[in-house]
A = this chain, B = another copy of it.
Amino acid sequence: MLSGVVSASASERTSPPGAVVWLTGLSGAGKSTIAEAVVARLRARGRPCTILDGDKVRTGLCRDLGFSPEDRAENVRRIGEVGLLMADAGLVVLVAVIAPYQRDRDIVREAAPEGRFLEVFVDTPLSVCESRDPKGLYAKARAGLLRDFTGLDAPYEVPTEPEIVLRTTVSSADDLADALVAALAQRGLA
């Protein structure tokens, strides 16, 4: 369990409370693209926000971690802790991190105040992610150069009860970003 790092200090503020908006999905699903489009929209509204991007965090905060189930759990745990600290400071935190296990995502949810963690499933089929392959990672994994690759030789657990589902095969990233901002506004978070 995470400690309950989000305190009652939110009540001191008059601006909307912070929140952790976790975009989960396969590599190449469009998590970072949508997160960036959402942050651009929130900034334009003057809403304090930030992105925690899985690739960047893995070269910094979580650079000591690999891709075993245990290390993935620790990766999600640390990002959850940081996201909740940032949310407690009033930020909307767009987390663009695969987080393949439901249990790990649930641990973050349980540590967050009610309504301040949104699980957003970026629902892009594996075949589409692989055909996009923006970083060439699927090709590398198929060639045997990467192991424990989510969707191929490591599992991805589809969210059981996500707050929001974004289908990138149906709508553009800009339209999905608009929809996500609208969903945040509806919840008083943007």
Contacts and interface: CB of A to CB of B under 8 A. Distances in A.
Contacts of A82: 61, 82, 85
A68 to B, nearest CB: 15
Interface in A37-67: 43, 48-50, 52, 56, 59-61, 63-64
A87 to B, nearest CB: 10
A60 B90 contact: no
A84 B82 CA distance: 11
A127 interface: no
A19 interface: no
B91 A60 contact: no
Interface in A99-135: none
Given A86-B86, A86-B89, A91-B89, A60 B3 contact: yes
Nearest to A82: B82
Contacts of A64: 74
Given A12-B43, A43-B12, A91-B91, A85 B3 contact: no
A60 B89 contact: no
A78 interface: yes
A178 interface: no
Contacts of A48: 48, 89-91
25 contacts: A2-B60, A3-B59, A3-B60, A3-B63, A5-B56, A5-B60, A12-B43, A13-B43, A48-B89, A48-B90, A50-B85, A50-B88, A50-B89, A52-B85, A60-B81, A61-B78, A61-B82, A61-B85, A78-B78, A82-B82, A82-B85, A85-B86, A86-B86, A86-B89, A91-B91
